[in-house]
Protein backbone atom coordinates (compact mmCIF):
# COMPACT_ATOMS: atom_id res chain seq x y z
CA UNK A 1 0.00 0.00 0.00
CA UNK A 2 1.24 3.46 -0.88
CA UNK A 3 -0.37 6.79 -1.55
CA UNK A 4 0.98 10.03 -3.01
CA UNK A 5 -0.46 13.30 -1.70
CA UNK A 6 0.01 16.16 -4.18
CA UNK A 7 1.09 19.36 -2.48
CA UNK A 8 -1.75 21.88 -2.32
CA UNK A 9 -4.28 19.53 -3.92
CA UNK A 10 -7.75 21.01 -4.47
CA UNK A 11 -10.91 19.33 -5.69
CA UNK A 12 -11.73 21.59 -8.65
CA UNK A 13 -15.34 20.40 -8.70
CA UNK A 14 -15.90 21.49 -5.14
CA UNK A 15 -18.32 18.80 -3.92
CA UNK A 16 -19.14 15.11 -4.12
CA UNK A 17 -22.38 15.92 -5.96
CA UNK A 18 -20.57 17.91 -8.66
CA UNK A 19 -18.02 15.11 -8.99
CA UNK A 20 -20.73 12.50 -9.54
CA UNK A 21 -22.37 14.68 -12.21
CA UNK A 22 -19.02 15.17 -13.94
CA UNK A 23 -18.27 11.43 -13.87
CA UNK A 24 -21.56 10.71 -15.65
CA UNK A 25 -20.82 13.46 -18.17
CA UNK A 26 -17.42 11.98 -19.00
CA UNK A 27 -18.71 8.42 -19.27
CA UNK A 28 -21.68 9.32 -21.45
CA UNK A 29 -19.65 11.51 -23.79
CA UNK A 30 -16.59 9.33 -24.17
CA UNK A 31 -18.36 6.08 -24.97
CA UNK A 32 -20.41 7.88 -27.63
CA UNK A 33 -17.25 9.45 -29.07
CA UNK A 34 -15.37 6.14 -29.02
CA UNK A 35 -18.26 4.32 -30.68
CA UNK A 36 -18.44 6.93 -33.43
CA UNK A 37 -14.68 6.96 -34.07
CA UNK A 38 -14.33 3.17 -34.36
CA UNK A 39 -17.83 2.12 -35.56
CA UNK A 40 -18.54 0.08 -32.43
CA UNK A 41 -21.79 -1.50 -31.24
CA UNK A 42 -22.36 -1.79 -27.51
CA UNK A 43 -22.86 -5.39 -26.33
CA UNK A 44 -23.52 -7.08 -23.01
CA UNK A 45 -20.52 -8.89 -21.57
CA UNK A 46 -19.91 -11.48 -18.85
CA UNK A 47 -18.41 -10.77 -15.45
CA UNK A 48 -17.46 -14.45 -15.00
CA UNK A 49 -16.21 -17.17 -17.35
CA UNK A 50 -15.50 -20.88 -16.85
CA UNK A 51 -12.01 -21.77 -15.71
CA UNK A 52 -9.84 -23.88 -18.00
CA UNK A 53 -11.18 -22.50 -21.30
CA UNK A 54 -8.41 -19.98 -21.91
CA UNK A 55 -11.00 -17.22 -22.33
CA UNK A 56 -9.94 -15.18 -19.30
CA UNK A 57 -6.90 -12.96 -19.72
CA UNK A 58 -3.61 -13.66 -17.98
CA UNK A 59 -2.53 -9.99 -18.02
CA UNK A 60 1.13 -10.26 -16.98
CA UNK A 61 0.77 -13.99 -16.40
CA UNK A 62 0.99 -13.93 -12.60
CA UNK A 63 -2.24 -12.32 -11.36
CA UNK A 64 -4.66 -14.68 -9.64
CA UNK A 65 -8.32 -14.57 -10.71
CA UNK A 66 -11.15 -14.74 -8.17
CA UNK A 67 -12.49 -18.32 -8.45
CA UNK A 68 -15.60 -20.04 -7.11
CA UNK A 69 -17.59 -23.27 -7.71
CA UNK A 70 -21.04 -23.26 -9.34
CA UNK A 71 -23.39 -25.50 -7.35
CA UNK A 72 -25.85 -26.23 -10.18
CA UNK A 73 -23.10 -27.08 -12.68
CA UNK A 74 -21.48 -29.93 -10.79
CA UNK A 75 -19.18 -27.59 -8.86
CA UNK A 76 -17.54 -26.43 -12.09
CA UNK A 77 -15.07 -23.64 -11.39
CA UNK A 78 -15.79 -20.14 -12.63
CA UNK A 79 -13.61 -17.06 -12.37
CA UNK A 80 -14.16 -13.32 -12.42
CA UNK A 81 -12.71 -11.80 -15.57
CA UNK A 82 -9.47 -9.83 -15.61
CA UNK A 83 -10.45 -8.33 -18.96
CA UNK A 84 -12.30 -9.45 -22.06
CA UNK A 85 -9.70 -9.44 -24.84
CA UNK A 86 -10.28 -13.04 -25.86
CA UNK A 87 -14.01 -13.14 -25.12
CA UNK A 88 -14.55 -10.18 -27.46
CA UNK A 89 -12.80 -11.94 -30.31
CA UNK A 90 -14.99 -15.00 -29.85
CA UNK A 91 -18.06 -12.75 -29.74
CA UNK A 92 -17.11 -11.01 -32.99
CA UNK A 93 -16.75 -14.40 -34.67
CA UNK A 94 -20.14 -15.55 -33.38
CA UNK A 95 -21.81 -12.34 -34.56
CA UNK A 96 -20.19 -12.43 -38.00
CA UNK A 97 -19.12 -8.79 -37.73
CA UNK A 98 -17.46 -7.57 -40.97
CA UNK A 99 -14.08 -5.78 -41.16
CA UNK A 100 -14.25 -2.12 -40.21
CA UNK A 101 -16.81 -2.62 -37.45
CA UNK A 102 -16.63 -3.83 -33.87
CA UNK A 103 -18.07 -3.96 -30.38
CA UNK A 104 -17.52 -2.35 -27.01
CA UNK A 105 -18.76 -3.13 -23.54
CA UNK A 106 -18.66 -2.01 -19.93
CA UNK A 107 -16.15 -4.39 -18.40
CA UNK A 108 -16.11 -4.84 -14.62
CA UNK A 109 -13.35 -6.95 -13.14
CA UNK A 110 -11.67 -7.87 -9.86
CA UNK A 111 -7.89 -8.01 -9.57
CA UNK A 112 -7.08 -8.88 -5.95
CA UNK A 113 -3.31 -8.95 -6.56
CA UNK A 114 -3.12 -5.24 -7.41
CA UNK A 115 -0.88 -3.13 -5.20
CA UNK A 116 -3.22 -0.41 -3.98
CA UNK A 117 -2.17 3.18 -4.63
CA UNK A 118 -3.43 6.36 -6.32
CA UNK A 119 -3.99 4.55 -9.62
CA UNK A 120 -4.63 0.91 -8.74
CA UNK A 121 -7.70 -0.66 -7.17
CA UNK A 122 -8.91 -4.24 -6.82
CA UNK A 123 -11.97 -3.11 -8.82
CA UNK A 124 -11.37 -2.41 -12.50
CA UNK A 125 -13.85 -0.78 -14.86
CA UNK A 126 -13.08 -0.10 -18.48
CA UNK A 127 -14.57 0.24 -21.92
CA UNK A 128 -13.38 -2.98 -23.51
CA UNK A 129 -13.54 -2.72 -27.31
CA UNK A 130 -12.62 -4.93 -30.25
CA UNK A 131 -12.94 -4.46 -34.02
CA UNK A 132 -12.61 -6.84 -36.95
CA UNK A 133 -9.83 -6.00 -39.41
CA UNK A 134 -8.56 -7.45 -42.66
CA UNK A 135 -5.44 -9.59 -42.48
CA UNK A 136 -3.57 -6.96 -44.49
CA UNK A 137 -4.46 -4.38 -41.80
CA UNK A 138 -2.16 -6.14 -39.33
CA UNK A 139 0.40 -3.36 -39.70
CA UNK A 140 1.91 -0.49 -37.76
CA UNK A 141 0.23 2.21 -39.86
CA UNK A 142 -3.20 0.76 -39.11
CA UNK A 143 -2.37 0.60 -35.39
CA UNK A 144 -1.34 4.26 -35.39
CA UNK A 145 -4.48 5.31 -37.27
CA UNK A 146 -6.63 3.59 -34.65
CA UNK A 147 -4.68 5.17 -31.79
CA UNK A 148 -5.24 8.61 -33.31
CA UNK A 149 -8.98 7.98 -33.46
CA UNK A 150 -9.11 6.98 -29.80
CA UNK A 151 -7.02 10.00 -28.87
CA UNK A 152 -9.44 12.22 -30.82
CA UNK A 153 -12.33 10.75 -28.80
CA UNK A 154 -10.49 11.67 -25.59
CA UNK A 155 -9.78 15.22 -26.81
CA UNK A 156 -13.38 15.81 -27.89
CA UNK A 157 -14.55 14.64 -24.47
CA UNK A 158 -12.10 16.99 -22.74
CA UNK A 159 -13.27 19.96 -24.81
CA UNK A 160 -16.96 19.24 -24.21
CA UNK A 161 -16.28 18.77 -20.50
CA UNK A 162 -14.78 22.28 -20.43
CA UNK A 163 -18.12 23.66 -21.67
CA UNK A 164 -19.96 22.00 -18.78
CA UNK A 165 -17.27 22.58 -16.14
CA UNK A 166 -15.16 25.60 -17.18
CA UNK A 167 -12.90 25.32 -14.12
CA UNK A 168 -11.36 22.23 -15.80
CA UNK A 169 -9.29 23.64 -18.64
CA UNK A 170 -8.19 21.45 -21.58
CA UNK A 171 -4.57 20.29 -21.34
CA UNK A 172 -4.12 17.73 -24.11
CA UNK A 173 -1.86 18.56 -27.08
CA UNK A 174 -3.17 18.53 -30.63
CA UNK A 175 -1.39 15.31 -31.60
CA UNK A 176 -0.21 12.14 -29.88
CA UNK A 177 3.47 11.21 -30.18
CA UNK A 178 4.58 7.69 -31.17
CA UNK A 179 7.73 5.94 -29.99
CA UNK A 180 8.78 2.30 -29.78
CA UNK A 181 9.83 0.87 -26.41
CA UNK A 182 13.24 -0.01 -27.92
CA UNK A 183 13.72 3.61 -29.04
CA UNK A 184 12.76 4.68 -25.54
CA UNK A 185 15.43 2.37 -24.10
CA UNK A 186 18.07 3.78 -26.46
CA UNK A 187 17.08 7.35 -25.63
CA UNK A 188 17.12 6.84 -21.84
CA UNK A 189 19.41 3.83 -21.21
CA UNK A 190 20.01 4.64 -17.55
CA UNK A 191 16.35 4.87 -16.58
CA UNK A 192 13.78 2.25 -15.59
CA UNK A 193 10.81 1.68 -17.93
CA UNK A 194 8.52 3.86 -15.79
CA UNK A 195 11.15 6.58 -15.59
CA UNK A 196 11.49 6.47 -19.39
CA UNK A 197 7.75 6.90 -19.69
CA UNK A 198 7.83 9.89 -17.35
CA UNK A 199 10.64 11.48 -19.35
CA UNK A 200 9.02 11.13 -22.77
CA UNK A 201 5.48 12.00 -21.63
CA UNK A 202 6.71 15.01 -19.66
CA UNK A 203 8.08 16.32 -22.97
CA UNK A 204 5.21 15.42 -25.33
CA UNK A 205 2.20 15.24 -22.94
CA UNK A 206 0.46 12.49 -24.95
CA UNK A 207 2.46 9.44 -26.08
CA UNK A 208 1.80 5.99 -27.49
CA UNK A 209 4.56 3.54 -26.56
CA UNK A 210 4.73 0.74 -29.13
CA UNK A 211 5.89 -2.85 -28.65
CA UNK A 212 5.14 -3.78 -25.03
CA UNK A 213 5.70 -7.39 -24.00
CA UNK A 214 8.59 -8.49 -26.20
CA UNK A 215 12.27 -8.55 -25.28
CA UNK A 216 14.30 -5.38 -25.80
CA UNK A 217 17.95 -5.27 -26.88
CA UNK A 218 19.15 -5.50 -23.28
CA UNK A 219 17.08 -8.63 -22.65
CA UNK A 220 14.43 -6.86 -20.56
CA UNK A 221 10.79 -6.17 -21.43
CA UNK A 222 9.23 -2.74 -21.10
CA UNK A 223 6.19 -4.15 -19.30
CA UNK A 224 4.43 -7.49 -19.06
CA UNK A 225 1.89 -8.72 -21.60
CA UNK A 226 0.30 -12.14 -21.96
CA UNK A 227 1.32 -14.21 -24.96
CA UNK A 228 -2.15 -14.86 -26.34
CA UNK A 229 -3.86 -11.58 -27.13
CA UNK A 230 -1.65 -8.59 -28.10
CA UNK A 231 0.85 -9.19 -30.90
CA UNK A 232 4.18 -7.99 -29.47
CA UNK A 233 6.43 -10.07 -31.72
CA UNK A 234 5.54 -9.29 -35.36
CA UNK A 235 7.96 -6.78 -36.94
CA UNK A 236 6.49 -3.43 -37.89
CA UNK A 237 7.44 -1.01 -40.65
CA UNK A 238 9.77 0.77 -38.20
CA UNK A 239 11.97 -2.33 -38.01
CA UNK A 240 11.03 -3.09 -34.41
CA UNK A 241 8.84 -5.91 -33.13
CA UNK A 242 5.34 -5.31 -31.85
CA UNK A 243 1.92 -4.15 -33.03
CA UNK A 244 0.58 -3.06 -29.64
CA UNK A 245 1.17 -0.46 -26.94
CA UNK A 246 -0.12 1.95 -24.30
CA UNK A 247 -1.65 5.42 -24.48
CA UNK A 248 0.06 7.59 -21.86
CA UNK A 249 -0.94 11.13 -20.86
CA UNK A 250 0.92 13.59 -18.67
CA UNK A 251 -0.94 13.88 -15.38
CA UNK A 252 -0.45 17.43 -14.00
CA UNK A 253 -1.92 16.53 -10.61
CA UNK A 254 0.34 13.55 -9.92
CA UNK A 255 3.32 14.81 -11.96
CA UNK A 256 4.00 11.65 -13.94
CA UNK A 257 2.94 9.62 -16.98
CA UNK A 258 -0.55 8.20 -16.70
CA UNK A 259 -1.74 5.14 -18.65
CA UNK A 260 -5.34 5.36 -19.86
CA UNK A 261 -5.36 2.54 -22.41
CA UNK A 262 -3.59 -0.69 -23.30
CA UNK A 263 -4.38 -1.93 -26.80
CA UNK A 264 -3.08 -3.58 -29.92
CA UNK A 265 -3.51 -5.68 -33.00
CA UNK A 266 -4.19 -9.19 -31.77
CA UNK A 267 -2.15 -12.30 -32.46
CA UNK A 268 -2.73 -14.30 -35.62
CA UNK A 269 -1.92 -18.00 -35.84
CA UNK A 270 1.81 -17.46 -36.42
CA UNK A 271 2.21 -14.85 -33.69
CA UNK A 272 0.35 -17.02 -31.17
CA UNK A 273 2.60 -20.00 -31.91
CA UNK A 274 5.70 -17.80 -31.63
CA UNK A 275 4.70 -16.05 -28.42
CA UNK A 276 3.53 -19.18 -26.62
CA UNK A 277 6.84 -20.81 -27.47
CA UNK A 278 8.81 -17.81 -26.19
CA UNK A 279 6.95 -17.92 -22.88
CA UNK A 280 7.08 -21.72 -22.58
CA UNK A 281 3.27 -21.94 -22.66
CA UNK A 282 2.69 -24.32 -25.58
CA UNK A 283 0.28 -26.26 -23.35
CA UNK A 284 -2.26 -23.48 -23.89
CA UNK A 285 -2.71 -24.59 -27.50
CA UNK A 286 -5.11 -27.27 -26.18
CA UNK A 287 -7.45 -24.71 -24.60
CA UNK A 288 -10.74 -23.81 -26.28
CA UNK A 289 -9.86 -20.26 -27.35
CA UNK A 290 -6.40 -21.16 -28.57
CA UNK A 291 -7.59 -24.22 -30.53
CA UNK A 292 -10.12 -22.10 -32.41
CA UNK A 293 -7.62 -19.36 -33.17
CA UNK A 294 -4.97 -21.78 -34.42
CA UNK A 295 -7.61 -23.46 -36.59
CA UNK A 296 -8.30 -20.14 -38.32
CA UNK A 297 -11.84 -19.94 -36.96
CA UNK A 298 -11.57 -16.45 -35.42
CA UNK A 299 -11.38 -13.09 -37.23
CA UNK A 300 -8.33 -10.86 -37.26
CA UNK A 301 -8.97 -8.07 -34.75
CA UNK A 302 -7.61 -5.01 -33.02
CA UNK A 303 -8.76 -4.10 -29.55
CA UNK A 304 -8.05 -2.89 -26.08
CA UNK A 305 -9.44 -1.26 -23.01
CA UNK A 306 -9.85 2.34 -21.92
CA UNK A 307 -10.05 2.69 -18.16
CA UNK A 308 -13.30 4.34 -17.12
CA UNK A 309 -12.21 5.45 -13.67
CA UNK A 310 -8.73 6.21 -15.02
CA UNK A 311 -10.06 8.50 -17.76
CA UNK A 312 -12.45 10.23 -15.34
CA UNK A 313 -9.61 10.66 -12.86
CA UNK A 314 -7.43 12.30 -15.51
CA UNK A 315 -10.08 14.55 -17.05
CA UNK A 316 -11.51 15.67 -13.70
CA UNK A 317 -8.00 16.33 -12.31
CA UNK A 318 -8.38 13.95 -9.38
CA UNK A 319 -5.48 12.76 -7.21
CA UNK A 320 -6.81 9.28 -6.38
CA UNK A 321 -8.87 6.76 -8.30
CA UNK A 322 -10.92 6.28 -5.15
CA UNK A 323 -12.41 9.74 -5.77
CA UNK A 324 -14.08 8.23 -8.84
CA UNK A 325 -14.99 4.64 -7.96
CA UNK A 326 -16.26 2.85 -4.88
CA UNK A 327 -13.79 0.17 -3.80
CA UNK A 328 -12.00 -1.20 -0.75
CA UNK A 329 -9.08 0.78 0.67
CA UNK A 330 -6.85 0.28 3.73
CA UNK A 331 -7.95 2.41 6.65
CA UNK A 332 -4.54 4.05 6.81
CA UNK A 333 -4.88 5.19 3.20
CA UNK A 334 -8.38 6.53 3.82
CA UNK A 335 -7.18 8.50 6.82
CA UNK A 336 -4.17 9.92 4.97
CA UNK A 337 -6.31 10.97 2.02
CA UNK A 338 -9.01 12.51 4.22
CA UNK A 339 -6.42 14.62 6.03
CA UNK A 340 -5.30 16.01 2.65
CA UNK A 341 -8.81 16.77 1.41
CA UNK A 342 -8.95 13.75 -0.91
CA UNK A 343 -12.40 12.27 -0.42
CA UNK A 344 -12.50 8.55 -1.28
CA UNK A 345 -15.92 7.29 -2.33
Q: Does residue 9 lie within any of the structural domains?
A: no
DSSP string of 4-28? ---TT---TT-SHHHHHHHHHHHHH
Cα 240 to chain centroid distance, Å, stands at 22
Whether the Cβ atoms of residue 147 and residue 208 lie closer than 8 Å to each other: yes
> Using an 8 Å Cβ cutoff, are 271 and 217 in contact?
no
pLDDT at 80: 87
Does 313 reside within a domain? yes
DSSP helix, strand, coil percent of the chain (3-state; round to 5): 35, 20, 40
Q: Give the torsion sign (CA, 42, 209, 228, 100).
A: positive
What's the pLDDT at 273? 97
Tell me how far the alpha carbon of residue 4 is from its chain's centroid.
22
The sign one gets for the Cα dihedral 200, 201, 207, 213 is positive
Q: What is the pLDDT of residue 2?
A: 83
Q: In what order do the strands lie in the sheet with 76-80?
A: 48-50, 76-80, 67-70
Asked whether residue 112 is domain-assigned, the answer is yes
Work out how many domains the chain is built from and give that number. 1
Neighbouring CB atoms inside 10 A of 14's CB total 11
Judge whether 80 lies within some domain. Answer: yes
Residue 207 lies in a domain: yes
| pLDDT tens, the chain, 345 aa long | 688 899 989 999 988 899 999 999 999 999 999 999 999 999 998 888 888 887 877 665 567 888 899 999 999 999 888 878 889 999 999 999 999 999 999 998 888 888 899 999 999 999 999 999 999 999 999 999 999 999 999 999 999 999 999 999 999 999 999 999 999 999 999 999 999 999 999 999 999 999 999 999 999 999 999 999 999 999 999 899 999 999 999 999 999 999 999 999 999 999 999 999 999 999 999 999 999 999 999 999 999 999 999 999 999 999 999 999 999 999 999 999 999 889 898
* Residues constituting the chain: 345
Question: So which residues are the catalytic ones?
Answer: 57, 111, 126, 246, 259, 262
Angstrom distance (rounded) from CA 115 to CA 2: 8
Are 127 and 308 within 8 A, CB to CB?
A: yes
**CATH number of the domain where residue 32 is located:** 3.30.930.10
Q: Are 210 and 242 in contact (CB under 8 A)?
A: yes
Q: Is residue 4 part of a domain?
A: no
- pLDDT for the residue numbered 14: 84
Question: Would you say residue 3 lies in a domain?
Answer: no
In a domain, 204, yes or no: yes
List Cα–Cα distances, 317 to 6, 10, 75, 80, 199, in angstroms: 11, 9, 45, 30, 21
> Which domain does 303 fall in, by range?
16-339
Amino acid sequence: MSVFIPQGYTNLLGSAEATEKAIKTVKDMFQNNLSAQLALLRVTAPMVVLSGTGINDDLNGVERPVRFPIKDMGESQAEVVHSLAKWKRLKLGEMGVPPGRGIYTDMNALRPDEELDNLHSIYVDQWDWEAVIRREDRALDFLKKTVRRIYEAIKVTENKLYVEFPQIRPALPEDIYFIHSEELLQRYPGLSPKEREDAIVREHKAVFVIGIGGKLSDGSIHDGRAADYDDWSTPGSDGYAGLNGDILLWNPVLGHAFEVSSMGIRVDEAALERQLAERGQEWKKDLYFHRRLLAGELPCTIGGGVGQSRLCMYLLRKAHIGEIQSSIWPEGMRAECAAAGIELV
